[in-house]
Every structure is written in C-alpha cells, then in structure tokens.
Amino acid sequence: MKKINIFMSLVILLSIPSFLQAHDLKGAINSSDRTPKNVMRDKYRNPYETITFFKIEPDMTVVELSPGSGWYTEIFANYLHEPGNLIAAHFDSNSDREYFKRGRANFEKKMKSSKMYNNVSIVDLSSNLAPKNSVDAVVTFRNLHNWIGPQIDKIFENSYKTLKPGGIFGVVEHRANPGTTLDAMKKSGYVTEDYAISIAKKHGFVLVDKSEINANPKDLKNYERGVWTLPPSLRLKDKDKEKYLEIGESDRMTLLFKKPE
C-alpha cells in the first residue's frame, strides 16, 4: 500500500504543469514552459542575476513596461504568484499604428495560450498603469530609447505614482557612450546612463545601485543600423552576420531606483 501511495504521488506530481510546481526564480527560468528561442538569449540577458539585483520577490505585484513579445513576461508569469501578480503595460489597445496593433494582438494571443498567464493583466502603456501606491516594483527592459521625448516623462511619472513608498524601479537599457546627443540616442537605440538617471531623478526616484550584469565590452556602438545591427535583430541580415553574432547583444546598463519611503 505504501509503495502504491508513493507511486500515485509521483504520478500526480508529474502531471502538474511545471508553472504550478515551483515559484522559485531558478525554477521559473529553467521551466519547460519558456519558448526555446527565448532561452537561447539567457546568456546575454542574465535573467537570474537581473531579477535578483532588482530584488523582485514572488509575492510582489510587478508592472512590466512595454514587454514586447514577452521575453521577461514568460519568467515573471511563472515566478510571481498570489498575492503577487504581473501587470503588463503594452502598446495602447486603440493605437492607429499597425506595428503597435500587431504587437498588442500577438501579446494578447500569447497571454491566452496557457494557464500560466492567468495571473497576468494587460493595461495600456499610456494609462495610469495601476492605482496609486499599489505596486511593489516597476521594471523595463531595453525600452528607454523608444520613449525619448514627452512620452518618457509620462511613463516615468505614472510609474512613480503607482509604486508604493519604497517601491522598486528597475531599468535595463542599451548603453551609449558618455556625451552622446539625444538625437543620436534616438537614431542608434543607445542611451547614456546620465540621461536615464537624470530622467528618473526628475520624477522623484532615488538611484540605489548600478550593476554591470548586462555589460558587453565587445559592443563598439558604431554600427550602420544602430543597436539593431546586433542580434537578435541583425538588421543587416547576412552582411557581416558572423561578426555581429560574435559580438553578441548590446552593452547594457542595469539601474536600480526606488521611490522614497
């Protein structure tokens, strides 16, 4: 009887989807629920070290700004659990830009593809994101260059409002060389640390720490098609492809801010 009970327990355990079995960060990152092509980017994006640096705990409510196709969303959906949850602030649902509409539709389709995403809600990036003082952390990965101008002020302002006092604001972004102009940042996709920090401070955030987790000294930042010359975009396609694959993904700053207590 004891052997039967052990056997049945193993059968039940193995039949439970992996996203319901464990909420530890390593388990979420190593989960078979992740898309294989996303897993291949771990060596460049260092999700365990990055999420740990941002001090994200599994019971937190987290806003992910502009999650794109959901690279980090896959991990957060697996890692965060009740009372924690993920709020994905994606392209506006009423956007008249075809790229934005298509991106939002594809993301919504992904969120409906698995019960793993039941604890994920979607809001418009231009919205208030969440009620004031209700969120434990706001994070964004490789997006600042897209927002330079009035939009970045609005997004940072709403992020600050929605965070609880003491809440975390984590930023990963392609890092420009010091002294790069705003116009060059927009064209190249690389943003200076000084600019990122100044915008955050402008909206009340305090810089807590910096990390070189996502640094890449091979990145020369002088490419024909800006940061999109490098993988995964490879905008030049086969032209010098092996050279850019050898460089890898961009050199990135990793900044940790907080909303004062």
What integer pLDDT is reported at residue 14 of this predicted model?
45
The strand pair at 85-90 and 120-124 is best described as: parallel
pLDDT band at 2 (very low <50, low <70, confident <90, very high): very low
Q: What is the pLDDT of residues 42-81, one digit of tens each?
A: 999 999 999 999 999 999 999 999 999 999 999 999 999 9
Q: 9 falls in which pLDDT band (50, 70, 90)?
A: very low
Which domains are assigned to the chain?
A: 22-258 (3.40.50.150)
Per-residue pLDDT tens over the stretch 71-90: 999 999 999 999 999 999 99
- The Cα diameter of the chain in Å comes to 73
The two tokens of residue 196 are: 């990122």
Query: What's the chain's length in residues?
Result: 261
pLDDT above 80 for 233: yes
Quick one: tokens of 171? 């930023």
pTM over 0.85: yes
pLDDT at 20 (0 to 100): 52
DSSP per-residue letters across 41-78? THHHH-HHHHHHHTT--TT-EEEEES-TTTHHHHHHHH
Whole-number percent of the chain with pLDDT over 90: 91
Kindly state the average pLDDT of the residues 169-182. 98
pLDDT score of 7 more than 90:
no
Question: pLDDT for 101-137, tens place per residue?
Answer: 999 999 999 999 999 999 999 999 999 999 999 999 9
Q: What is the mean pLDDT of residues 175-184?
A: 98
In angstroms, rounded to a whole number, what is the distance separating the alpha carbons of residues 165 and 163?
Answer: 6
Closest listed residue to residue 41, CA positions, set 21, 5, 68, 62: 68
Chain position carrying tokens 């990055």: 50
Return the pLDDT at 214: 98
- What confidence tier does 15 reach under pLDDT thresholds 50, 70, 90? very low
Question: What is the CB-side half-sphere exposure of residue 191 using CA atoms within 13 A?
Answer: 26
Query: Is 11's pLDDT higher than 60?
Result: no
